[in-house]
Structure 1
C-alpha cells in the first residue's frame, strides 16, 4: 500500500461545531447477519490505524459488544448510532461528536447491524443500516459471504442496492472465497453489474473471536486474547482488502453539515453547585455502557468514578449515586457473591441507584441460587429463551430518572427472568404489561436506554445525587 493514501485521507483541521466538515466515512454492511461485518470492520479500523490514521469507530444499533472490539482496534471509544434509541435527528450530530472527540478523526468507519435493510420490526427499515447510511450520507461497503455462490453473488449485491436507491453501494468485499477460480468467477460477475470488488477473503484466512449466548465475548473479559484477535484481523484486512480503494470510497462522502452533538447543551449545563460523585459500574461483569452516559453525567455536574464489583470492596469515596449497566453477571456469579463487602454497601446505599439488565440481577436476592445484593426482593435465573427487541415504553412510576407518563424508547437483550417480573411500583409499561422496579431511590429493569435520547435522565440523576 502506498504512503500517499495516508496523507490524502486526512481532511485537515476540524471546522467549528456547525461548519461543514469533509470527514471521509464508510458504512460496512452485509445482506444478513453472519456474513463477516464485524471481522471486516474491526480489521479495517485496526489496519487504517496502523497507517497512522486517526479512525473513529461506530456501530449501527444498540449492541455493546462490537464497539468494544472497535475501541480496541481504533484506540478511541466505540460509539453507537441508533435512530430508535436516540432519534434520527441526532445520528449525524452523534457521528460528528464521536469523530471529533477526543481528537479529530481522519476517517469514520461505521459497522452495520443485521442485514443492510433490517431494522425495527414493522417500521419499514427504521433504525436499519440503510437508514443510518442515509442519515450520515455515507457510501456502503457490502460484505458478501460467497459460500456456495457464484454469479448469484452479483445478483444479490445488485438487489441490495436497488431495494433502496437512496443507499449508495460503493463496492463489495468477498468473504469466504473458496479458491482463486471462485474469486475470478465472482469478480467477473460483479464487473458485469458495475459493482467494484475492494477485497477478497478466503475461507482458510478467517479469524474468529469466541462467542457466548448473547454474541461475542466482550473485550474486557479477555483483554490479552482480544488484542491478539484484533492484531490478526488487521493482518487479514491488510493482506486481502485494497485499503487505498476503501479510502477513496470514504472520501466520496459529502461534507457533514450537521452540528456536533454537545452533552453540555443536551443537559442544559451543570445541575447545581458541587460535583457529586456518581459511581459507574464496569469490569468484566458489567461491560454494557454507552460512552455518552459518562459524558452526560459529567456535563450535568457529576464526577464520574468507576467501580468494579468483581474487584472493589467499596464504592468510590464520596459516592452519591450508582449506575449499574448490563453485562454478564451469570458468568461471574460466584465472584460477585464473594465480594460481600460491596454487596452489603449496595444493599444499604441511601443514594439513587440505576440498574439495567445485569444491574437488575445484581441488585436482587439471588441469581441461579447464588446470593447477590438483596437490595430488591426478587430472584433471577437463566433460561433457554432469548428476549430481544426494541421497546416503546411509558414510564410507570416516578423515580430519580423519569416522571410517570413519559415515553421512552429502549431495547431488551437477555436470557434470564426474574420472580416477580415487576414491583408494586413498576418502572415501565409496554404491550399492556408492567415491567421493572422502582423501590425508594432505586430504578431497575431489563430495559436498556441510551441517554443521548433522554438526556433529562442524566440531569435528574445528578440533581438527586446532589440532594
Structure 2
C-alpha cells in the first residue's frame, strides 16, 4: 500500500469521453443513453462525470446499475484521476465519461500554458488518454458546423476528437447536410438523434432534479434515453474507438486511509478498528450517513473510505427515519433540504436527537445541505438549531472552486491545513453564526472570506470536499467517533 491511496490490480477499461461545444447541447441525454444502451448490449459499463456535479451521476447509476463516480483533477489533483478511474472501472470492460460544460471549459482564473483549462473535460480526456465524442446541438446549424468542428479538432493537439453525435436533428435533409459538413473535416458521425419533445429530465434552480427524487420518472427517463441512443447511435463504432491506455494500480480506499507502515486491513479482525495515525482501536463505530431525497450530493468514495478505516456506515433518510441505533458519528452531505424543509421539520424526534447528540460531543460532518439542516430554520421551517443562524433561499447562485484553509482545529481538519473545495448553492445564512468560522479563503475581489462553523465536534460548511483528497480527515473523523462511542453509550 502507499500513502497516496493507490493499491494493486484493476480491470483495465477502454473509455470514451462525451463532450460538447457548450452546456445545454445534450451531453447528459447522450451519455446516459449510451451507458444504458451499451449495458443493454451486454457490456459492463463504468459511468463517470467530469467535475463536482452530483446530479448527473445519479442518472448514470440508474443506467449502469452501479454507482456513478466523479473525476475532478481540481479537487483531487491530477495524480489521482487515473487511479480513481481504474478503481471505478474495476470489473468493467467499458467506461463512459460525461464531460462538463464545453470541452475546454474549466476552472476560471488559473493561468496555464495548456489549452485545456484545469478541470475541463479536455484535461480529464488527456489524463485518461481517452477519445472524445462531441455532441453537437444541431438546431440552427447547417454547413457551418464544419468550421465549428474544425476549431474543436485542432485547438489542442493533445485531445483526440474521434467522432460526432448530432443531437436534435430536424429532418432527413438536415441530417444529410450536417453529415456532409462533418465529412469535410474528417470526423465520422457516430449517431444522429432526432428532436423529441418531452425527453428532457425536469430541472430547477441547481440543474436537473436528482434521480432519487425523481423516482420512477427518473427510471422512465433513463429508459427513454437508452431507447433513443440504441436506435440512432452506432454502438459498434463507439466501442471500436474506445481506449484508455492509463496504467498503474487502482486507487484503494483502504490504502488511502490506513498508515502503509502498519496497515493491517487484510488481517484486521471483524468488528475492530485500527487507525494508526490517531491510535484508534476497538469496536467499529457506527457512522450514520444521511441519504434519501434531501441529501443526494456525495461521493461514493466517502462511504468506501469510512468503511475501510473501520466504521460501520448506516445510511438513513432524515425525512422520516430516526437516527440509527448506536450512532457515534453523523455525516450530513449536500442536497436539496430547501425543497424538503417542511418534511424535514416534521421529523421532530430526529431533530431533537441530533441536537442533543451534537451538544454531547458526537462528531458531526455537515456539507451544504447538512449545514442547512443544522441551522435554526430554513425558509421559516424549524430545524436542528445546532448552528445559531437561519437560512433562506436567494436569487444568486454561489458557484465555484475555493482554495480554503482550515481556521480551527476540528474533528476533520487541523488549523492551517489547506484544501480545495467547491461551492454550489442558492441558499444563504441570514446572519453570521457566533461560532468560529470553519474555512477561510480570498474571494475574487481579494477580500478574505470566513465560512462555515467549527465548534466542539461539529464541522458544518457550504464547502464540498472530495474525501479521496483528504484521507487524514476521514481517519480523524472515525477516530473521534470511536472515542465518542467508547466514552458513552452511543445515541
TM-score, shorter chain, exceeding 0.5: yes
**Distance in 2 of aligned mates of 1:328 and 1:424:** 24
**Distance in 2 of aligned mates of 1:121 and 1:213:** 22
**Selected match of 2:470 from 445, 449, 454:** 454
**Distance in 2 of aligned mates of 1:363 and 1:161:** 48
**Distance in 1 of aligned mates of 2:66 and 2:133:** 22
> 2:96: which partner in 1?
109
Kindly report which structure 2 residues correspond to 1:270-285, keeping only aligned pairs within 5 A, or say none. Answer: 270-271=274-275, 272-285=281-294
> 1:355: which partner in 2?
366
> 1:412: which partner in 2?
423
CA contact (8 A) 2:354 2:384 kept: yes
The alignment partner of 1:273 has SS state of strand
Q: By how many angstroms is 1:224 displaced? A: 0.6
Q: By how many angstroms is 1:161 displaced? A: 1.9
**Distance in 2 of aligned mates of 1:438 and 1:77:** 31
> 2:487: which partner in 1?
none
Q: By how many angstroms is 1:274 displaced? A: 1.9
The alignment partner of 2:165 has SS state of strand
**Selected match of 1:135 from 127, 131, 136:** 127
**Selected match of 2:451 from 430, 435, 438:** 435
Deviation per CA, 1:49-90, whole angstroms, max 9, x where unpaired?
111211100000000000000000000000000001111100
The alignment partner of 1:415 has SS state of strand
> Structure 1: which 5+ runs fail to align?
1-15
CA contact (8 A) 2:45 2:96 kept: yes
> 2:488: which partner in 1?
none
CA contact (8 A) 2:9 2:250 kept: no
Q: By how many angstroms is 1:273 displaced? A: 2.4
Q: By how many angstroms is 1:423 displaced? A: 4.1
Deviates more, 1:77-86 or 1:255-264: 255-264
**Distance in 1 of aligned mates of 2:174 and 2:198:** 17
**Distance in 2 of aligned mates of 1:391 and 1:161:** 31
Deviation per CA, 1:318-344, whole angstroms, max 9, x where unpaired?
110000011111111110111000000
> 1:227: which partner in 2?
219
**Distance in 2 of aligned mates of 1:46 and 1:458:** 34
Q: By how many angstroms is 1:19 displaced? A: 6.3
**Selected match of 2:23 from 15, 23, 33:** 33
CA contact (8 A) 1:58 1:78 kept: yes
Report whether the alignment pairs 1:377 with 2:377: no
Deviation per CA, 1:244-293, whole angstroms, max 9, x where unpaired?
1100111xx24330310011111115422221000000000111110000
> 2:139: which partner in 1?
147
**Distance in 2 of aligned mates of 1:154 and 1:395:** 49
> 1:295: which partner in 2?
304
**Selected match of 1:335 from 321, 336, 343:** 343
What's the TM-score, normalizing by structure 1? 0.93
Deviation per CA, 1:406-458, whole angstroms, max 9, x where unpaired?
11100000001103345431100011121110121100010000100111111
Report whether the alignment pairs 1:186 with 2:193: no
- Alignment CA distance shift 1:263-1:92 (3 Å): same
**Selected match of 1:387 from 392, 395, 398:** 398
Q: By how many angstroms is 1:400 displaced? A: 0.1
**Distance in 1 of aligned mates of 2:60 and 2:285:** 31
What's the TM-score, normalizing by structure 2? 0.89
> 1:174: which partner in 2?
166
Kindly report which structure 2 residues correspond to 1:250-329, keeping only aligned pairs within 5 A, or say none. Answer: 250=242, 253-268=243-258, 269=263, 270-271=274-275, 272-312=281-321, 314-329=322-337
> Structure 2: which 5+ runs fail to align?
1-5, 264-273, 276-280, 443-447, 484-491
- Alignment CA distance shift 1:78-1:180 (3 Å): same
CA contact (8 A) 1:276 1:466 kept: yes
**Distance in 1 of aligned mates of 2:79 and 2:422:** 19
CA contact (8 A) 1:401 1:460 kept: yes
CA contact (8 A) 2:15 2:244 kept: no
**Distance in 1 of aligned mates of 2:290 and 2:99:** 27
Q: By how many angstroms is 1:205 displaced? A: 6.4
**Distance in 2 of aligned mates of 1:428 and 1:264:** 28
Deviating 4+ runs (over 4 angstroms): 16-22
Q: By how many angstroms is 1:223 displaced? A: 1.4
CA contact (8 A) 1:19 1:257 kept: no
**Distance in 1 of aligned mates of 2:316 and 2:352:** 15
**Selected match of 2:105 from 107, 114, 118:** 118
Deviation per CA, 1:11-48, whole angstroms, max 9, x where unpaired?
xxxxx965686421100000110000000000000001
CA RMSD of aligned residues (A): 1.4
**Selected match of 1:84 from 42, 53, 74:** 74
> 1:5: which partner in 2?
none
The alignment partner of 2:282 has SS state of coil
Q: How many residue pairs align between the two structures?
A: 446
